Structure 1
Amino acid sequence: MLLIYTQKVTPRIIYIFKHICTHILGIPIKFTSKIEEFIAHDGAKLSYGKQALGNEFFIQKVELLMEQGFSELEIKVQPWDDTICFFPLPDASDLPFDIFAASFYLLSRYEEYLPHVKDEDGRFPASESLAHQESFLHKPVVDIWAIKFRDILLQRFPDLEFVNRKFRVGTIVASEHTFIFKNKGFLRSFIGLWADLFQFNLTKVIDRLQVWIRIKDDPHDIFEDLIQMIKKHKLYMVFMFQLSDFSIHDRNISHNRIPHRAVIKSVADYAKVGLLMGYYAMDNIKVLRKEKLRMEEIVHSPVEDVMNSRFNLRLPDQYNNLTELEINNDHSMGYPDAPGFRAGTCSPYLFYDINMEVTTPLKVHPYAFNSDMVGTVSKTKIKEDLARLLQEVKEVKGIFRGVFSNGDFSRYADQDFYYSLLKQIHEVE
């Protein structure tokens, strides 16, 4: 057990110390504000304040974890051994920077509360982030810092117990369009057919007709192939299905269509199934509740996992809606157009609401790779970036998550390349 002294135990201090010490490193901790208790303790101990009290492990604090709300911060990134750090500290501290304040800044998405320029889809772009501007987006720095902190702490307290982590990988398959031709309804199908004819896309015309008369499977219905991979190689996948009402933004199949529901039920027998939130569900809790109930009615179990289909997180409101509806896991934390770690970590973590200064029960599962990047750079660069990210996560024994869509594996996409990326992540032949 690690005893931690701080003059004032704030919600931010409780949150980030528990995450770094307990959730990542597996070190039990206890807080105290009593100097007598801290000095009398003869085991591992750490003080977090303005000056050391004795022979303990000492980290001089910056004021971020003592504050409330958010304000503009001046951040200077500097090297630390083979990585980087910020919020530097003087030599009196046993670490050259405030690891807890820096980790809180990244995990809480502090910078997304501050004024920033959104992209055309209303998203916080990677280019606005400190990690991108200082060239450490590709590194899970919070996990790197935690491992280095553990090793330094063990030099002082070699009997301190911790838990060894295990490297894991997983894939999320987002199904915004479960079918491309099937079950679209007469009017939509008729308009689609004429659009294909007008563009002289005879391949799609023939495919569409063959799907209609049921002599060929829908090109987007690739779920059985992925299920076979799951069964053969014991892969971990989460499938996100969209069940929103048809609109100009959401053009998926009706949730009442029997084949659509049958696919979801079939997939749920072999993998975890979650909800891909529609456009209006991202901001309207009533719409989100309706979509959640639809999924629960299909799979006959509570919805625990969701993903934002546009990745335009509006923090903290969007996450607070998930918490209010008792949805436990979000898989939207990443950049769809840039490889790397949006929150600086490859470990799941509880979301901290800066507006309310409270740790929420919502667990955020960050991803590092999104197939939307394919086509923006060369295939070789995609493969190299993916290998680099995987290696970074392996070194800290974290969890790697990649995001694909079911359309990636259809015959209208470069399915062989996407399958090769999937196999690269899961290390299967």
Structure 2
Amino acid sequence: MNMQLLIYTPENTPRLKYTFALFFEHIISVPYRITNDNEEYANWQGPKLNYSSGITEKDPFSINPSGLLFQSGISPQKISISEWNGLKIFFPSASGNLPFDIFSAAFYLVSRYEEYFDRPLDCHARFQAVSSLAYQNQFLEQPLVNFWAMQLKKELLKQYPMLAFKEAVYTYTPTIDIDVAYAHLGRTAAVTAGGYLRMLLKLNTKGILEKTAVLLGTKQDPYDTYSYQEAVIKKYKLSPIYFFLASSIRSHYDRNINPGGKTFAALVKKANGFAQIGIHPSYQSASRADVVKSEVANVERCLTYKITKSRQHFLRVRLPETYRCLAELNITDDYSLAYAQAPGFRASICTPFPFYDLRAEKTLPVIIHPPAVMDGTLNEYMNMSPGDAEKAIERIIAQVKYCRGEFISIWHNHSLSERDNWENWKEVFENMVKWAAS
């Protein structure tokens, strides 16, 4: 008997190919093949799945399609939420082995279909968590697509116990954004002078004394938490990624140190000693390939390899422009698809997956690694105490471990400074790393 899962469908569309690959290559890996041949399907002496409206009693396993995967273009979809086995579902079906079209529902969530419609954006032109189906139906903190895939695997094994699924492995990737590398070091003379002037006008004597001591080398820069980060990360033998903001032009939201200076180069090289280095496209880049290219060059001059990883500053993702820009620049992995306003899973998945461009109806060569937790979300947006933040982080980690996905955390060097509104957050970071790495 052939151990390959044969999937029959009347039409092999780009959406359908993408979604079957998502399930059977990325989440619940198993050998499979798609056919449009009725006769081949009927004569197949092995596991098979009928994904068509022509379901009969002779089909050993079938899923009735809602039609979304056979469409092209973007149009409003009727979404009605119900429950099955304790999980939220939509695109219901009255026939087949599952009570809903699992493939269309997953495609809707993972492709971020809802983000292509006009919705109220926040002040940074970002799609808001509160506008999402996941938030409105209380499954934002659940990687729902992974849970669906696990149920599909369970049902398939009931019918075909001989199917050989490859077990997924849980991983943890800590990531650090370097928005402002140092509080005082690494600025041009003009920027440093401007900083002194602002402090003088505000009569900030304490700030003036601190800046002077740091610049004279008699005091450590308060944002210089890199040796501490390295120690925590090495303790658990992790492979972190550091994303550097490298805009040559300063703006209100792009305020990192001079990327052309020695201080910046030294820090990139230091981080490269224990981490992978990625680009943090600036706020002002707005998915413009020429601007991002120049910022990548600013970081690559400090390295001996090409940058292939990225995360948008302020998590400013525009669909599909952001991913088209990254693909044009040969950036293969992105870590931006999260909400700044709430923790959880923006695409309802905790497994890395390729980006599907709904406007072009094709898969782009960019793998999305969905972050689930960010320091600023918990502290600055949600005003959580360190204790409540730890509880939220524990819940998220437990979900990802159960699904054997990839847990990705976003932290910043300045949030480990134990100053301003970040007192006692070092312990949150340490506990998160300990729990996620164990």
Q: TM bucket by the smaller chain?
A: over 0.9
Counterpart of 1:252 in structure 2 is 256
Residue 31 (structure 1) aligned to one of 26, 29, 34: 34
1:252 maps to a residue whose letter is N
Counterpart of 2:196 in structure 1 is 193
Alpha-carbon offset, residue 413 of structure 1: 4.4
1:273 maps to a residue whose letter is I
Contact 2:418 2:425 in 1 (8 A): no
Matched residues in 2 for 1:94 and 1:220: separation?
Answer: 56
Matched residues in 2 for 1:220 and 1:167: separation?
Answer: 32
Q: How does 1:236-315 map to 2 (within 5 A)?
A: 236-249=239-252, 250-315=254-319
Please tell me the root mean square deviation across aligned C-alpha atoms, in Å. Answer: 1.6
| Deviation by residue 1:83-135 (Cα, 9 ceiling, x = unmatched) | 11111110x21001111001100111101111111111100000110111111
Residue 222 (structure 1) aligned to one of 205, 220, 225: 225
List runs of 5+ in structure 2 lacking aligned partners: none
Counterpart of 1:339 in structure 2 is 343
Contact 1:6 1:32 in 2 (8 A): yes
Matched residues in 2 for 1:36 and 1:93: separation?
Answer: 20
Counterpart of 2:130 in structure 1 is 127
Is 2:380 the counterpart of 1:377? no
Counterpart of 2:110 in structure 1 is 107
| Deviation by residue 1:33-71 (Cα, 9 ceiling, x = unmatched) | 001111111111101010325233100001100000101
Counterpart of 1:175 in structure 2 is 178
Q: Label 1:308 to 1:314 Cα distance change in 2 as closer, same or farther (>3 A).
A: same
Counterpart of 2:411 in structure 1 is 404
Alpha-carbon offset, residue 199 of structure 1: 3.5
Indicate the SS of the match to 1:60: coil
Counterpart of 2:59 in structure 1 is 55
Matched residues in 1 for 2:203 and 2:60: separation?
Answer: 75
Matched residues in 2 for 1:358 and 1:182: separation?
Answer: 45
More moved, 212-221 vs 173-182:
212-221
Matched residues in 2 for 1:26 and 1:64: separation?
Answer: 23
Alpha-carbon offset, residue 412 of structure 1: 2.5
Is 2:372 the counterpart of 1:365? no
Hey, which bits of structure 1, 4+ residues long, moved more than 4 A?
Answer: 413-416
Counterpart of 1:149 in structure 2 is 152
Q: Label 1:426 to 1:183 Cα distance change in 2 as closer, same or farther (>3 A).
A: closer
2:15 maps to a residue whose letter is R
1:408 maps to a residue whose letter is S
Matched residues in 2 for 1:157 and 1:417: separation?
Answer: 52
Contact 2:129 2:135 in 1 (8 A): yes
Alpha-carbon offset, residue 187 of structure 1: 2.5
Counterpart of 1:42 in structure 2 is 45
Residue 424 (structure 2) aligned to one of 401, 417, 422: 417
Alpha-carbon offset, residue 339 of structure 1: 0.9
Matched residues in 2 for 1:416 and 1:271: separation?
Answer: 26
1:100 maps to a residue whose letter is F
Alpha-carbon offset, residue 282 of structure 1: 2.8
1:389 maps to a residue whose letter is I
More moved, 361-370 vs 290-299:
290-299
| Deviation by residue 1:152-206 (Cα, 9 ceiling, x = unmatched) | 1100000100011222222211001111101212222222223234444443222
Counterpart of 2:68 in structure 1 is 64
* TM-score, scaled to structure 2: 0.94
Indicate the SS of the match to 1:224: helix
Alpha-carbon offset, residue 367 of structure 1: 0.7
Contact 1:246 1:252 in 2 (8 A): no
Contact 2:390 2:432 in 1 (8 A): no
Indicate the SS of the match to 1:58: coil
Alpha-carbon offset, residue 415 of structure 1: 5.2
Matched residues in 2 for 1:281 and 1:296: separation?
Answer: 17
| Deviation by residue 1:233-287 (Cα, 9 ceiling, x = unmatched) | 2123111111112232422211111111011011112111101111232331111
Matched residues in 2 for 1:283 and 1:387: separation?
Answer: 34
List runs of 5+ in structure 1 lacking aligned partners: none
Contact 1:407 1:413 in 2 (8 A): no
Contact 2:239 2:274 in 1 (8 A): no
* TM-score, scaled to structure 1: 0.96
